[in-house]
Chain A
């Protein structure tokens, strides 16, 4: 059966790698489009509470974040273990919120200001005292549209 005889002299050709850069670039573009840059490094520990009635924050550029939680171990020496507020990349007091919101507003286009949302990302076990202070300050700053950040509750029914 000469038809099926394996030709010893011919070798299997190597897979061409010429298209590898294209493939990788394609992946790269995919990730660049679908992901967003990490805005801040978290200095507080946050375990989000669970909820069912969630709305998604779609317009990322219009959202300002307030983080509340216990400082992570490396900051506990200076800031203690009590929950702290983190704005941008530093710890802050509730009284700093007014200037924070003003700065956030100044960074946006004037027409976008009414659509701005403040997202409160707080740890599940934070006491309401500090959240209440944040809310009071937000009311004073007229940043009334807020979003309590939460995870989708997994229903085990």
Chain B
């Protein structure tokens, strides 16, 4: 008769499981990465002839950031906390001022004919010496300005936040407030050689 196989003791099972648990606690992370999402423009075509596109002065919102992280918005020294309001005013042009971008009546789904800013572009230019933190703060404010306007529009029409709208509704709001942020080649003033 075969010898009886002794049962494996399972008293140490808990210890082994604890060891694996601790290993996983150490080697893994729980944080969800988040960040500011942007799209880069496609690379410039070298064959393309540089054409000067004449954009009316009033249609550009110039934001300059220098090497000391100071802001110059539309030739005016501005603190970062005031940037959002300024950008919102530019993108919306509620009083139809001549200094702010032209408006045009356009047929927008859900809204019908609406007066929207025709081609307002935010132009952002930073210096090589600008810190990344300041650059991101500016980007954040500009994106926030657009998002705030969209949220307000969505609230007014559907009493919902922009993110809660359906895709078609979002597209309509997007048409009214497009996110046009162009980044120019930076200046090389504030770089130590």
A residues with a Cβ closer than 8 A to B are: 17, 20-21, 24-25, 27-28, 31-32, 34-38, 49-58, 60, 63, 68, 117, 119-120, 122-129, 131-132, 135, 138-140, 142-152
Contact = CB atoms under 8 A, between A and B. Distances in A.
B55 interface: no
Closest 5 CB pairs of A and B: A35-B28, A124-B133, A24-B17, A21-B13, A129-B128
B5 interface: no
A61 B28 CA distance: 15
Nearest to A153: B140
Tell me the dominant secondary structure on chain A's binding face. mixed
Tell me the dominant secondary structure on chain B's binding face. mixed
Q: Which among B32, B40, B126, B130 has the greatest number of chain A C-beta atoms within 10 A?
A: B40
A57 B30 contact: no
A146 B34 contact: no
A49 B137 contact: yes
Interface in B121-139: 126-133, 135-137, 139
Contacts of A149: 33-35
A25 B18 CA distance: 8
A151 B34 CA distance: 7
A97 to B, nearest CB: 13
Interface string B1-19: 0000000001001100110
Contact of B129 (A51, A127, A147, A151): A127
A139 B42 contact: yes
B21 A24 contact: yes
B86 to A, nearest CB: 17
B27 interface: yes
Contacts of B29: 35-38
B81 interface: no
Contact of B14 (A20, A51, A147): A20
Contacts of A138: 40
